[in-house]
Amino acid sequence: MKAQNDSYRVSETRRLVAEFPNNEVALSPDIKNFKAAKWRLAFSLAVHAQMDSCALESELHALERIPAEGWGKPTRFIPIRFVFTNKLSKDDKLLLALDAFTLSQSLGREVSIGKIVYGDDHTTMKVKTSAMTSEVRKRLERIATLLSNPAPPDLVLNPHCPECEFQARCRQKAEEKDDLSLLANMSAKERKKFHTKGIFTVTQLSYTFRARRRQKRLAGKREKYHHSLKALAIRERKIHIVGSPELKMEGTPVYLDVEGLPDRDFYYLIGLRFRTARRVIQHSLWAANENDEKRIWKEFLGVLSGVKKPVLIHYGSFETTFLRRMYQKYGEVVGGSCLAEAISSAVNLLSVTFAKVYFPTFSNGIKEIARYLGFEWETPAGSGLQSIIWRSQWEASGGAAVKRLLLIYNANDCEALEVVATSSFNYRNFHRILNNRPKSSLQRR
């Protein structure tokens, strides 16, 4: 991401500079002398400011100067930030707000508007940075407090960890402490509540679970997720079942896994796995570019039409979104047909097992669960984030080796999905599937 952002910043700076006369463009000018400035566009501009709690420095990607439009009206400054993705996040806007805040502190005047240039189409968005000033201040104060404290902050695993270079080190420390943040489904609010009760470790939490009979008036409601039961499953290294969950389906299970680029809403690889009387069939439908997306959707429908009563099974919401978007975008399915039924009634295995099947894993991610059940990926480094990197590398070089990594990874995901689906509801066979691991315990309430 850093490499792509740097490359995008260089190319967009060149494009923007080309829109101004040479005498109106400046490289890293002295911002303090803005009254005598003649430039209209500056880039690579380091801005410094001082707050009560800390010193600020922000390197502006670009800065647009709009001369005063009349007597008594001030010159306006608009910071510009370049972002290579096709979708903006809140963090992108906050970074622009930090640029504007630092600039306003340096100039001694309010900078209320900024611009973000982003994506393949060079889209420009105006952002009212003044509306985020209070949040920028709060975050700066928190950072200053952390930096002034000689002790390190509390170690907490969070959704950002997969993107961080210190992930492995923090994970190891969390495991040594048996920290509650190891439980991926536990929110910060829930974790804080347990802390007030003197519960700081997963092992401590595991001793708080009490099996209770479910009240009849709650029979039709969704089962509550019990962090304590998850902790108990981890401590005992056993699978715990709440009630008698079932995966009801009449037809042929078709295990679906899709790879895509979320910021481009582009799906480039559809994996399908199903069994016939003679063999296992794996399909890997590959799109070289956005124009191929419709083709692989048609191929996907073609494969499904050749399966007797197909029942699509996937894990998580990514494939749910894929099916909905492709159906809306390309159609090609007759309402009321077998294909339409398969798409509309696709089974999200995560929602079926959630709060019902507790595996002795810290998260409910398919990779952790499948590995516990004895399945291993041929590409151990494979992950959703890694697949985005591989696809980016393939688009840059067209290398067959990188494409093969993606195809293997996707096929392994389909196979892992089958392992999890067939074992999650086969209570009697857990001891066989788990090899030498302890036989699962069955908790009914």
**What are residue 46's phi and psi, to 5 degrees?**
-85, 125
Instruction: Return d(Cα 122, Cα 84) in angstroms, integer.
Output: 9
Q: How confident is the model at residue 426 (pLDDT cuts 50, 70, 90)?
A: low
Residue at 217: amino acid letter: R
Range 104-116 average pLDDT: 93
What is the Cα–Cα distance from 270 to 253, expressed in whole angstroms?
16
**What kind of fold does domain 252-433 have according to CATH?**
Nucleotidyltransferase; domain 5 (3.30.420)
pLDDT value for 65? 92
> What's the pLDDT tens digit per position in 356-369?
899 999 999 999 99
Q: What is the pLDDT of residue 194?
A: 97
Give per-residue pLDDT as tens, 137-173.
999 999 999 989 999 888 899 988 988 889 999 999 9
Question: Is-contact 437 430, C-beta < 8 A?
Answer: no
Q: What confidence category does residue 99 fall into, taking pLDDT thresholds of 50, 70 and 90? A: very high
Name the amino acid, one letter, at 417: L
Please state the rounded mean pLDDT for residues 99-128.
Answer: 94
**What is the per-residue pLDDT for 436?**
34
Q: Give the pair of three-digit tokens for residue 338.
A: 């077998």
| pLDDT of the residue at 172 | 96
Q: Is the pLDDT of residue 48 over 70?
A: yes
Q: Look at residues 373, 412, 389 and name the one whose alpha carbon lies nearest to residue 271.
A: 412
Q: Is the dihedral of CA 437, 162, 232, 224 positive or negative?
A: negative
Token pair listed for 312: 């699509």
d(CA 64, CA 86): 23
pLDDT in the model for residue 248: 77
Percent share of the chain, pLDDT over 90: 69
> Residue 232 and residue 359: Cα distance in Å, rounded?
10
The ranges assigned to domains in the chain are: 2-143, 161-238, 252-433
pLDDT at position 140, please? 94
Residue 402's pLDDT band (boundaries 50, 70, 90)?
very high
Q: Token digits for 196?
A: 């007030």
